[in-house]
Amino acid sequence: MVIIRPIEANEISLLTKLWIEFIQDPVGSDRRILPTEENVRTWMNFVNNLIESGEGEVLVAIEDNEFVGYILYEFIRRKPLKTRYGCGLIHDLYVRPSWRRRGIGRRLLEEALERMKTKGTKCIELYVLSTYTPAIKLYEKLGFKEDLRRMTLFLKENTRD
Ligand SMILES: CC(C)(COP(=O)(O)OP(=O)(O)OC[C@H]1O[C@@H](n2cnc3c(N)ncnc32)[C@H](O)[C@@H]1OP(=O)(O)O)[C@@H](O)C(=O)NCCC(=O)NCCS
């Protein structure tokens, strides 16, 4: 049975394997972030700081002591300028390919939304590839609506290769 719980500080290095899969996902990611050792260290520091400061959390989905999915979020996203209201941010949501379509993504998201609500988060943002229907459907089912569009102009061919 898959259980969902907050990650513990000494488990963050185990999560890097899933993060590397996430940033390289062939359909869910634009693969812009490179899986370099330096990036892995930077990401781990970022996650550590978020958890230690209490500004964010990671929930992991676990089956037989193996991480099969996770969600990473900030309760209120830090911004350099003052805003009228703050929003939480879902940074990553990932379920390993062979574990998909079993309700794990939905459970991770529902649990994260509940925890953010309890912390007083008033709105929640996330970024998703416009071409990635599975994630868009999941987000829409839980009430997310598109309210901003990022547009990219590639000035050089093969930039994405
Ligand atoms: C998006 C993702 C997290 C979904 O995880 P999952 O565990 O497979 O999702 P669930 O089984 O909980 O599905 C929940 C709903 O999402 C939608 N969905 C999920 N996969 C789908 C697919 N392949 N096609 C169509 N809809 C899909 C469905 O509406 C589904 O509800 P249903 O099962 O009642 O039809 C997973 O596909 C993933 O990790 N993708 C790669 C990483 C990524 O892109 N993450 C999102 C970044 S913003």
The answer to whether position 129 is within a domain reads yes
* 3-class state of residue 100 by DSSP: coil
Average pLDDT over residues 90-102: 98
| Token duo for residue 42 | 């930077």
| Full 3-state SS string of 64-98 | CCEEEEEEEEECCCCCCCCCCCCCEEEEEEEECHH
**51: in domain:** yes
Confidence (pLDDT) at 78: 84
pLDDT at 159: 72
* Residue 8 within any structural domain of the chain: yes
DSSP assigned state of 156: S
Report whether pLDDT(160) > 90: no
Q: What is the CATH number of the domain that holds 97?
A: 3.40.630.30
- List Cβ neighbours of 43 (8 Å cut-off, separation of 6 or more): 16, 19
Range(s) of the domain holding residue 65 = 3-141
Domain total of the chain:
1
Query: Which distant-in-sequence residues (6+ apart) come within 8 Å of 8 by Cβ?
Result: none
Contact 57/5 with Cβ under 8 angstroms?
Answer: no
Q: Is residue 146 part of a domain?
A: no
Q: State which amino acid sits at residue 161.
A: D
Percent of the chain whose predicted confidence (pLDDT) is above 70: 99
Q: What is the mean pLDDT of the chain?
A: 95
Atom of ligand 1 nearest to the CA of 22: 42
Which tens digit of pLDDT belongs to each residue from 13-51? Answer: 999 999 999 999 999 999 999 999 999 999 999 999 999
Q: Is residue 92 in some structural domain? A: yes
To test the pocket of ligand 1, the residue of 60, 68, 104, 106 to mutate (highest count of ligand atoms within 8 Å of its CB) is 106
Is the pTM for the entire model greater than 0.75? yes
Query: Is there an atom of ligand 1 within 6 Å of 6 CB?
Result: no
Does residue 58 fall inside a structural domain?
yes
What is the per-residue pLDDT across 117-127, written as a single tens digit (0 to 9) for each?
A: 999 999 999 99
Mean pLDDT across the stretch 131-144? 97
State if residue 72 touches ligand 1 by the CB under 6 angstroms criterion: no
Q: What is the CA(136)–ligand 1 centre distance, in A? A: 8
The CA R_g of the chain, rounded to the nearest whole Å, is 16
Cross-strand bridge partners of residue 125: 89
Q: Is 103 in the pocket of ligand 1 (CB under 6 A)?
A: yes
Residue 154 CB: number of other CB atoms within 10 A?
8
In a domain, 32, yes or no: yes
Q: How far is the C-alpha of 154 from the C-alpha of 146, rounded, in Å?
A: 23
> Measured in angstroms, how far is the CA atom of residue 138 from the centroid of ligand 1?
6
Q: Has residue 62 been placed in a domain?
A: yes
CA distance 56 to 77: 9
- E strand or H helix at 62, and its extent? strand 56-63
